[in-house]
Chain A
Amino acid sequence: KQEVTQIPAALSVPEGENLVLNCSFTDSAIYNLQWFRQDPGKGLTSLLLIQSSQREQTSGRLNASLDKSSGRSTLYIAASQPGDSATYLCAVRASNYQLIWGAGTKLIIKP
C-alpha cells in the first residue's frame, strides 16, 4: 500500500533563506508526483508536477526533484519570502483515479 510522508510537519525560517521540503513514498510505481500549496482556509494551488520519467521541474524560485528509486521528492524554495508562508502538500498519483496525499508541511517565513 502506497504511503506518503512529509517531513518536517512544520518549519519556520527567516526571510531570505533557501529551504527544502521533503516528501517520501513507499512504492516507486507512480504516474507522477505533484506539489501543492494551500493558504489558510483556502483551496489547493498546484505548484509543480513531475512525471515519473522526469528528475526535476522548475518554476521561478521553486524547484522540485524526483528520485523514484529511493522514493523521494524535494521541493526547494530559493530566497524565501513572507508570502511563501503556507502549507505545502505533496501527492502521488498511484492510478488514473487515485492520489495519495502527504500530511503537509506548514511553512512560516519570518520577516
Chain B
Amino acid sequence: DVKVTQSSRYLVKRTGEKVFLECVQDMDHENMFWYRQDPGLGLRLIYFSYDVKMKEKGDIPEGYSVSREKKERFSLILESASTNQTSMYLCASSLTSLNTVGYTFGSGTRLTVV
C-alpha cells in the first residue's frame, strides 16, 4: 500500500516563526498536494506539484510556499506563521494519468500558531 507520511502530528509555533511541514510518499506518485481543513470550510487546496521542482497554486496559496526537490518529498512552508494559519494540514499524493488509482492521504498535522 502507498504510504504518505507527515513528519509531525501536532505542532505549536509562535506568530512570525517560519514553519516547515514535511510530507513523504513511498510509491513514486507524480502528484503531491497540500490541503488545509477547517471546521465549516472543508478541505481547501493550498498548493500542488505534478513533478520535481514544479508547483502550482491551489485555492488558498497566500502566506504559504512549497518545495519539491525530490519526487517523494513535498514540503509546505509558512514563511511567517500567523494565528489564522492554525489548522489541520493534510498531504496527499496521486498518479497523474491513471484514473484507477485514487488519492492517498497522510495522517495530518494539526498546527497551532500562538
Chain B residues lying within 8 Å of A98, measured Cβ to Cβ, are: 45
A49 & B97 in contact (Cβ 8 Å cutoff):
no
Chain B interfacial residues counted at CB < 8 A? 24
Interface majority SS (helix, strand, loop, mixed), chain A: strand
B43 with A101: CB separation less than 8 A: yes
A interface, CB within 8 angstroms of B: 31-32, 34, 36, 41-46, 49, 51-52, 89, 91, 93, 96-99, 101, 103-104
Q: Does B87 contact A (CB under 8 A)?
A: no
Give the tally of cross-chain contacts (CB within 8 A).
53
Q: List 10 A-B contacts (CB under 8 A).
A: A34-B102, A36-B105, A41-B110, A43-B108, A46-B103, A51-B100, A93-B99, A97-B31, A97-B48, A99-B45
Which B residues fall within an 8 A CB radius of A? 6, 31, 42-43, 45, 48, 50, 56, 88, 90, 92, 96-97, 99-108, 110
